[in-house]
């Protein structure tokens, strides 16, 4: 998922560069600081008014994660949990302590900590469900914000173009000057349309897709953790987690092979 | 359904060609590689950002199927299942093995295999319901993607036109050159509007219509398979399947005729 | 309802003709075969892609019916059913056979036939409910298609205008020729806006309104037929049907008067 | 509510007049009969196609009522009902006959008549609930129609402008004539935007707000009428009705004062 | 929240000023009283037609509060309620009388008054729930109105531009005059787009976000008040209120520390 997003941006950018080269290749026209200021500044300003500063900063983190982090494979996560179950069975919950350091995912760390602390299954279940709900809300807020920005960008592009047109029309001396004014004014509209359609709008969609996938993985993990907390065997932990995975994908995992490695 | 879709594309294309001929017939103006690059490339790039690369490739297969494959007639499917029921009754489930090779539809092959394997009715029902649900989800994803592309196309058409206009306005030497620049710039808008309205938007609608039809046929097949698995007679298999078909269409099938052929 | 629709079309057309006359009255400009080809042809082509050819032909029938057929008055239908009830009571169900020929409405014909055949009340009720459901679905499909066409028309108007503009700009010799080119190009936009707003969009709305009215009448008829099938008296048939009609409209019908005519 | 609506129209009109005066004050340009014909005529024509002629006339009555009639104050209505309850208790239901003449509101007249006729409480309740439902449906239809007109107005403004532009471009002799043609053509767009945004769109909203308020008052009245029909005392009628009024507004009414006047 | 909103406005304004300076810096063009009259006056006029004058004035108060008032921190509110609980336990409900003067928030004042008056818990609960519901409705109305204004602003911007264009085109003497006319006309569109996108649209969103936050705080307060009315200890008041606060944020409050200060 990570690389596809980046490649998408680069391909989209390359297509526009091809268009610029084909029409004369005057790239300097498209580097216009005041136009960037109006479109990007205006969009960020209106987003700060709608959302809180904290949320605006939060979405940057979410976007970075969406663009650069790949979701782990289901089979890897299941294998990880099967390993934990084996350790738990063999050496007791306290032996999981060493695994926490390498777990990576804060959700998983928190879940394992609760198992080590010997919390009740109901408490763990409730807490993890709450965490998943917070995750969904953060994603939904991020998506809403990206959609708001995707709508604001073209609007501020138009605002910038109108600023340019008003000044150009009030001062029409030579056709050449008119043309230059028009070109500068239209760059704002270009920025608005380009950034919204290649960045904010598809990224809002991607966040929605990724949210689904991540929530699914977290729910699968929660099932596994609960089975471990109940002291179930590695084999039954695998079975519980696989009941979350569709029949289609089950074939990708070879149970006998993995259980042996975990045991 | 298949041919109607193709004819629709050809008629739409022909109408625009008539328009080009009537206005002077300069077709060369409308073959503009940079414009195609921006509109098609930009649309695909933003779709790759929103969806995963796997989904983008998947939709191509779905589109091909929608455009070139005709849904089988209900009466043919019912007749097929009645034949299978007769074979099952006469020669036992194992005799269906030879039919699998000619069944064609992977859904039907999978269903018959489960009957041959002697799986329980509940297991078959659950499994087929799951398959139908996956089918619906794949169709819904495909429709969403085509709609996203139908919205992205005109947007990147505008992006391309703005690229052309900015360069044209910055370099207005002669009226003729201005005209040429405008013409080239507007071709992008033309591509965006044309492709979206003759291709992506109606195809998204068609996928929705076809999804309904295909799900209906699959549900009818599932009813038939379950009846066969229960060892019912060809006549009662037909009856079970026809209860899925509306009263309107029932008249098209002549029961006595078909049962005789099946027996 | 029928005549109001036709008058609406004529008034809308007359208003635009007034506008043409006031601006110079050059009607020839607005008869442009290539423009009609692109706008109407493109709209029909994209509709054929979205819907099946069968549905496209079906909507023509629905549109004709919506524009030229008036819904019968409730009181007339109630009176008709009261007459049938009287005949049924006096001469038996078979005596209704002669009424079928003059019933006109296929729904009513089918319903009476079932009464004559002595089918069970439950079977008749189920069958008529199915017929009403099919009617609603046909209307809903028709409305969806008209709305799709109302959205496609302006889009193909723009496509046609862009075809004209691209060719005009690429060949700017004299101001007069530019003007002529612009005029021809804009006729497409005019067609798209005019046809969509005076034809497809309000007709989609009308179909929705009419569907409600027709379904109401059919439900009222179904109530009457069921009462007749149960062998109830003309008076109680009238009462059953009137329970479907709001208190507001009940005053329009004079029960004693009608019953006497029916008896 | 009545006067605010009128003032809104006048202020909106005044603002545009200020704009016209500031730009040169050539008012004659904005009185253009053909433009009015296309925009208003086209909007009405398409509305007649969508809705029935009866509904179009009905909405005029609803609009007049919305603009010129003020909703009565809650406290006045409660006081009225308390008075009726006192009369009913003191002189019997028949003594209410004289009050009917001065009741004004047809809903109230109908309700009192039912009390005088000695109808059962259940019958009165059902009948009044039906009346309120009809009122809501009429309002909802009116709102839908005004929204349809608010969308049709700018569309026919564009149709009119295109009619003007096509003729102007086909006959470009002098720059001055072009300018005049553009001015005339744009007046249609102006009409469409102005009428939709100052008239149909806010009026549709107002009808929605007013519908809520009127339904609330009618429900409060129905509660009071039912209490009177049950022969309750003026004090308990007031209490029943006030349970419909929010705690916020209750302070506006001084119970002791009013009961004394009513007794 | 307060300062972020103001900073957002200032940043947005600054960005546009940068754009003006970069394109020539003729600020006088953008101070155009008639344009302001049409855009702002028209928007307010249409809003007065849709909503009542009372609601329009109410939204001004809501906007002021949204822009300048910061929501109190949860921990501060919990601490306040814990203090009240301690006073109530130690000195009785009447001792809370002195706290009312410094409570500030009318919702809290009203709630404490009810505790002092010794009203029943059920009555207090019902009353506070009603107050919270009114708050939500006021916020929802305000949001709806701001969204209506955000849609009206660009529409009246277009109306103003059309007024300018019609007059300009009817009087085309010199290219310079045409330019000046265009500039003046486009200022209206600029106002509409700028005010809607930097003011009304994000402010409507902010009101929605703030409404959620404020309702949450009020519900937390209501829980605390009910616990105090039940005579519970400061510690259990804190616990009840914290059950409303997510696990994430609970760590910010140090229970032992606060309880000591409150005792």
C187 touches chain D (CB under 8 A): yes
More confident residue, B116 or B54: B116
CA distance C83 to chain B (A): 29
User: What is the mean pLDDT of the segment spanning E234-248?
Assistant: 75
- B 159-178: CB under 8 A from A: 159-160, 162-172
Predicted pLDDT at C156 = 96
Which of B133-142, C177-186, C245-254, E162-171 has the weakest average pLDDT? Answer: C245-254
Our measurement of the distance from residue D50's CA atom to the centroid of its chain's CA atoms, rounded to an integer in Å, reads 21
| Contact predicate A189/A161, CB 8 Å | yes
Predicted pLDDT at A12 = 92
| Res. E247 pLDDT band, cuts 50 70 90 | very low
- B 32-61: CB under 8 A from A: 33-35, 37-38, 41-42, 44-53
Q: Mutation test of the interface with chain D: which of E34, E37, E159, E179, choosing the one with the most D Cβ atoms within 10 A?
A: E159
More confident residue, B195 or A263: B195
Whole-number percent of chain B with pLDDT over 70: 91
Which of A98-107, B84-93, B132-141 has the weakest average pLDDT? Answer: A98-107
User: What is the mean pLDDT of the segment spanning C176-181?
Assistant: 82
Task: Kindly report, residue by residue over A142-157, the tens digit of the pLDDT.
Answer: 899 999 999 999 999 9
- CA E142/CA E135 separation, integer angstroms: 11
| Res. E130 pLDDT band, cuts 50 70 90 | confident
- CA A44/CA D248 separation, integer angstroms: 40
- pLDDT exceeds 90 at position C46: yes
| Res. B186 pLDDT band, cuts 50 70 90 | very high
For residue B172, which residues of chain C lie inside 8 Å, CB to CB?
none
CB contact under 8 A, C206 and D47: no
Task: Kindly report, residue by residue over E149-182, the tens digit of the pLDDT.
Answer: 999 999 999 999 999 999 888 887 777 788 888 8
- pLDDT exceeds 90 at position B198: yes
Task: Kindly report, residue by residue over D170-220, the tens digit of the pLDDT.
Answer: 887 777 788 888 888 999 999 999 999 999 999 999 888 888 888 888 888
- pLDDT exceeds 90 at position C231: no
A204: DSSP letter: H
Predicted pLDDT at A258 = 37
- A 192-221: CB under 8 A from B: 193-194, 196-198, 201-203, 205-206, 209
Mean pLDDT value across chain D? 83
Range list of H helices, chain C: 2-22, 33-36, 42-50, 53-68, 74-91, 97-103, 106-116, 121-169, 175-195, 201-229, 234-242, 247-250, 255-262
Q: Which two tokens stand for residue B247?
A: 């009263």
User: What is the mean pLDDT of the segment spanning C101-130?
Assistant: 86
| Res. C263 pLDDT band, cuts 50 70 90 | very low
Predicted pLDDT at E200 = 92
Q: Is A183 helix (H, G, I), strand (E, B) or coil?
A: helix
- CA D56/CA D155 separation, integer angstroms: 19
Predicted pLDDT at C121 = 87
Closest CA to B41 of B191, B231, B179, B228: B191
- CA D24/CA D19 separation, integer angstroms: 9
Measured CA to CA in angstroms, residue D259 lies from A62, B135, D24, D225, D244 at distances of 64, 70, 63, 17, 18
- pLDDT exceeds 60 at position E261: no
- pLDDT exceeds 70 at position E61: yes
Predicted pLDDT at A191 = 95
DSSP state string for C65-126: HHHHPPPPPHHHHHHHHHHHHHHHHHH-GGGGHHHHHHH--HHHHHHHHHHHTT--HHHHHH
More confident residue, E105 or C191: C191
Predicted pLDDT at E2 = 57
User: What is the mean pLDDT of the segment spanning C148-167?
Assistant: 94
A142 touches chain E (CB under 8 A): no
Predicted pLDDT at C246 = 54
Task: Kindly report, residue by residue over B98-115, the tens digit of the pLDDT.
Answer: 888 777 788 888 888 888
- Residue in chain C closest to B189 (alpha carbons) equals C162
| Contact predicate B242/B77, CB 8 Å | no
Our measurement of the distance from residue A75's CA atom to the centroid of its chain's CA atoms, rounded to an integer in Å, reads 21
Whole-number percent of chain D with pLDDT over 70: 91
Predicted pLDDT at C190 = 95
| Contact predicate A124/A115, CB 8 Å | yes
If residue D218 lies in a helix (H) or strand (E), which one and from where to where? Answer: helix D201-229
Number of neighbours of residue D139 by Cβ within 10 angstroms: 19
User: What is the mean pLDDT of the segment spanning A204-218?
Assistant: 88
Which of A61-75, B116-130, C237-251 has the weakest average pLDDT? Answer: C237-251
Q: What is the pTM of this model?
A: 0.86
Q: Is C247 helix (H, G, I), strand (E, B) or coil?
A: helix
CB contact under 8 A, D197 and E155: yes
Task: Kindly report, residue by residue over E4-15, the tens digit of the pLDDT.
Answer: 788 889 999 999
User: What is the mean pLDDT of the segment spanning D236-261?
Assistant: 56
Q: Write the ipTM.
A: 0.82
More confident residue, D254 or E32: E32
- pLDDT exceeds 70 at position A257: no
Helices B201-229 and B121-169: crossing angle, nearest 10°?
A: 170
- pLDDT exceeds 80 at position B190: yes
User: What is the mean pLDDT of the segment spanning B157-178?
Assistant: 86
Predicted pLDDT at A246 = 53
Mean pLDDT value across chain A? 83
Predicted pLDDT at A2 = 57
Phi-psi region of C32 (alpha: psi -120 to 50; beta: other; left: phi over 0): beta
Which of A21-30, A129-138, B160-169, C61-70 has the weakest average pLDDT? Answer: C61-70
For tokens 């904290």, the residue is A54
For residue E172, which residues of chain D lie inside 8 Å, CB to CB?
175-176, 178-179
| Res. B216 pLDDT band, cuts 50 70 90 | confident
Please count the residue pairs, one from chain C and one from chain D, whose beta carbons lie less than 8 angstroms apart.
140
- pLDDT exceeds 70 at position E257: no
Mean pLDDT value across chain B? 83
Mean pLDDT value across chain C? 83
- pLDDT exceeds 50 at position C255: no
User: What is the mean pLDDT of the segment spanning C70-86?
Assistant: 86
- pLDDT exceeds 70 at position D249: no
More confident residue, B154 or C220: B154
For residue B182, which residues of chain C lie inside 8 Å, CB to CB?
165, 169
- CA A169/CA A175 separation, integer angstroms: 11
- Subunits with 3+ C-beta pairs closer than 8 A to D: C, E
| Res. C162 pLDDT band, cuts 50 70 90 | very high
More confident residue, D60 or D124: D124
B152 touches chain A (CB under 8 A): yes
| Res. D252 pLDDT band, cuts 50 70 90 | very low
Predicted pLDDT at D2 = 58
Predicted pLDDT at A260 = 34
- pLDDT exceeds 80 at position A230: yes
| Contact predicate A232/A76, CB 8 Å | no
- C 85-114: CB under 8 A from B: none
């Amino acid at each position: 998922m990570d690389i596809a997003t980046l490649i998408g941006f680069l391909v989209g950018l390359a297509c526009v560069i091809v268009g610029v080269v084909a029409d004369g290749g005057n790239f300097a026209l498209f580097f216009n600081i005041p136009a960037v200021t109006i479109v990007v500044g205006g969009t960020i300003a209106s987003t700060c008014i709608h959302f809180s500063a904290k949320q605006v900063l939060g979405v940057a983190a979410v976007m970075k994660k969406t663009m650069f982090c790949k979701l782990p494979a289901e089979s890897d996560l299941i294998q990880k949990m099967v390993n934990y179950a084996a350790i738990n069975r063999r050496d007791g919950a306290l032996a999981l302590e060493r695994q926490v350091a390498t777990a990576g995912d804060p959700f998983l760390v928190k879940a394992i900590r609760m198992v080590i602390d010997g919390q009740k299954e109901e408490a763990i279940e409730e807490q993890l469900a709450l965490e998943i709900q917070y995750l969904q809300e953060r994603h939904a807020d991020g998506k809403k914000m990206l959609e708001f920005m995707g709508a604001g960008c073209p609007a501020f592009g138009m605002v910038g173009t109108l600023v340019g047109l008003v000044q150009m029309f009030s001062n029409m001396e030579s056709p050449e000057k008119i043309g230059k004014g028009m070109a500068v004014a239209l760059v704002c509209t270009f920025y608005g349309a380009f950034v919204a359609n290649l960045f904010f709008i598809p990224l809002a969609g991607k966040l929605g897709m990724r949210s689904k996938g991540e929530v699914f993985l977290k729910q699968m993990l929660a099932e596994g953790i609960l089975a471990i907390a109940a002291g179930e065997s590695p084999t039954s932990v695998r079975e519980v987690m696989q009941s979350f995975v569709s029949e289609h994908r089950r074939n990708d995992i070879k149970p006998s092979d993995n259980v042996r490695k975990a045991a």
